[in-house]
Amino acid sequence: MNPIIPSYHRKAFLCLFLLFVGMVALVARPITEDSTKMDHSILAYVKQGNTERTASLHLAYKPNDQDFVPLNNGKAILYPLLGSRKMGAPHLFEQNEGGYGLVASDNQSGNGVLVYDTQDLIYYSGERLLVLSEEVQVQDPVCQYDEKLEAYRIAWLGSDGEYYVSISKDLETIKETRKTENYQRKNILAALPEGAKDASVFSPDLETYKTLINKFAPIQHTGFEVLEDITLSGEEKIQLILPDEVKARYSDGSTKEMPVFWNQSDLKKLHKAKQGTFEIRGKASQPLFANPFIEQRADPHIIKGSDGYYYFTSSYPMVGGDDPEGYDRVILRRAKTIKGLADAEEVTIWDEKNSNISSRYVWAPEIHEINGTWYVLFTTSSPDAGVWGIRPIIIACNQGDGDPIKPENWEKTGHYCEAVESDEVAFQHFSLDMTYFQHQGKHYVIWAEKPRGSNLRIASINPEQPWKMTSPSVQLSKPEYGWEWKGAQWVNEGPAVIKNGDKVFAAFSAATVDEAYCVSILYADKDADLLDPNNWIKQNYPLLSTDDLDGQKGPGHNSFTIDEYGNPLLVYHARTEGEVSGPGDKGDGGLYDPGRHARIRPVHFAIDGMPVFNMSPKQILDPALNHFTVKVTLKSAE
């Protein structure tokens, strides 16, 4: 079952729009139509550290009379793929024919500049490496269109200490490069964000500025929409039905339906009265979960079944590399509520000791209800292929009465996934982390597979035999950007699908399973051919990383579920900073460190329809704003 976000149409209470500013808390300052006198400066910079994660485009904005406040929670929004794959001294500028451009050095040590085109300072295209000199390294570039020359002037500092200017008509080729007088970047008159270096400042037009802030500033709960007054006669009051949901409003213009609890004392007064006007007070509610939710359970998966129960499964860990148990079984919990899963009995429904075709390592199980039958998709290794001969396998709950919580109802052997005959790639290499989803009557699986880096692949399946592919698999994504790798490991894995509006989103995790682990997304139009990789777009920065979390590190391998009110939740694992969780645990963040704990966060959808994973409970529902009323007028019966 894949969560599809419900749509509601009731009005809700409107609170006063509050402005929050604070560099430490990184709170968004809402941009309003009368903000014509604001300083709409944007700071472009890289961070200290000289890694592909830090030497990338970061942006900050400057509220009036404030220091620069980082956007995107201090994370980069653009990672270079050319040259050294590290950016230095980024500089934004206006292009002659409309839109904007970005120029940056090749890590302050190359012979050229990285150049990008952008219409909105949010999405960048046309990455190219423009060589300015064969002899001198380029530093601190500044680009400006010169109307007299009808060309762009790129001024820069050479590694020899001299100043140069390069002329280009089209930012594709260089007409000439020559020495020039000293030049200066625009002075920056405010404090920079922590760790920022090689910064420059740029002022786009106000509309572009507002859109940029709306996209990358933290989203805040600002109140509720107004509920319509209700007028009843005395006979009708017994039939009074108050809304069971209200629409919360947010600083970017987005909204979210939330359940309501009405004040029972106010309702009692109304029902006792014969006439008059009454204000019924209400509060919204959002479920909050223990953090961690379930300890030492990585790759968590929660789903709500057609039977009304919630089910939880995850990887069962090893504690240290010499642990004779762990990564050897499929566990399952069941409860009527999500919170109930935390204390629910955990049963083992499959164990590699009972299978003659499978052995360690058992990773990332997911339980799905497909055409009325329960299945678990997980990864194990075939004895013939060795312990690292990892492949996806599927078991069915097709015995006994079909109750999935009973181990005896699950088949013991299972089925390794089978590619179509023409597919010479699928399941030929180390492959794992399979997920399932249904869309517009078709059934699909996505999984991760090598060789080389761990890439994401997709294929359609036969829902009656979900281990059988019905199409050749295609590659959806491969690791490219600086946040998708660490050391020698280039990783895309752990896919999970959620839908909203006209988009299908496939979240995935990247890099290694330590503090570098993070979550991003691919997305496609809902009516597109999902088996055509050209229809999928990768978000080129992570949506959830260690930088977004206090006391947690390495968030990833998520699933999606819905709470009791139909609102989407992100179920993921993350380590607790500084924790060594028990004997045999070296706290090294590796595969045999069991300290990856299951956790739950709300999912929000921004005004542009994109998912947001890093909002705090307060940003979703601010306790200080959690109050609203509906006015009920009771007329006497005539």
Catalytic site positions: 299, 493
Number of other CB atoms surrounding residue 380 within 10 Å:
26
Q: How far apart are CA 348 and CA 540, in angstroms?
A: 39
Q: How far apart are CA 405 and CA 311, in angstroms?
A: 9
Buried b / exposed e along 386-408 (16+ C-beta atoms within 10 A): eeeebbbbbbbbeeeeeebbebe
Q: Which amino acid is at 108?
A: Q
How many Cα neighbours within 13 Å face the side chain of 201? 18
Q: What is the DSSP string of 503-550?
A: EEEEEEEES-SSTT-EEEEEEEETTS-TT-GGG-EE-SS-SB-GGG-S
Q: How far apart are CA 572 and CA 542, in angstroms?
A: 14
Sequence-ordered strand ranges (E) for 251-358 = 255-262, 276-284, 298-304, 310-315, 329-335, 347-351
- Whether 160 contacts 179, CB under 8 Å: no
- First-residue to last-residue Cα distance in the chain: 53
Strands 628-635, 230-233: parallel, antiparallel or unpaired by DSSP? Answer: parallel
Give me the phi and psi of 358, to 5 degrees please: -135, 155
Q: How far apart are CA 611 and CA 326, in angstroms?
A: 34
Q: How far apart are CA 393 and CA 412, in angstroms?
A: 12
Nearest to 316 by CA among 507, 592, 519, 518: 592
Which residues touch 268 (CB under 8 Å, ≥6 apart)?
none
Nearest to 621 by CA among 262, 288, 378, 238: 288
Classified as helix, coil or strand, 46 is strand
Q: How far apart are CA 546 and CA 513, in angstroms?
A: 12
Strands 537-538, 518-525: parallel, antiparallel or unpaired by DSSP? Answer: antiparallel
Q: How far apart are CA 134 and CA 258, in angstroms?
A: 61
Which residues touch 613 (CB under 8 Å, ≥6 apart)?
519, 543, 544, 548, 570, 601, 603
Q: How far apart are CA 448 and CA 391, in angstroms?
A: 10
Sequence-ordered strand ranges (E) for 147-265 = 151-158, 163-168, 176-179, 196-202, 221-224, 230-233, 245-250, 255-262
Question: Per this entry, what is the length of the chain?
Answer: 638
Give me the phi and psi of 224, to 5 degrees please: -135, 155
Distances (CA, A) of 574 to 297, 364, 570: 10, 15, 12
Q: Tell me the sheet residues that pair with 380.
A: 391
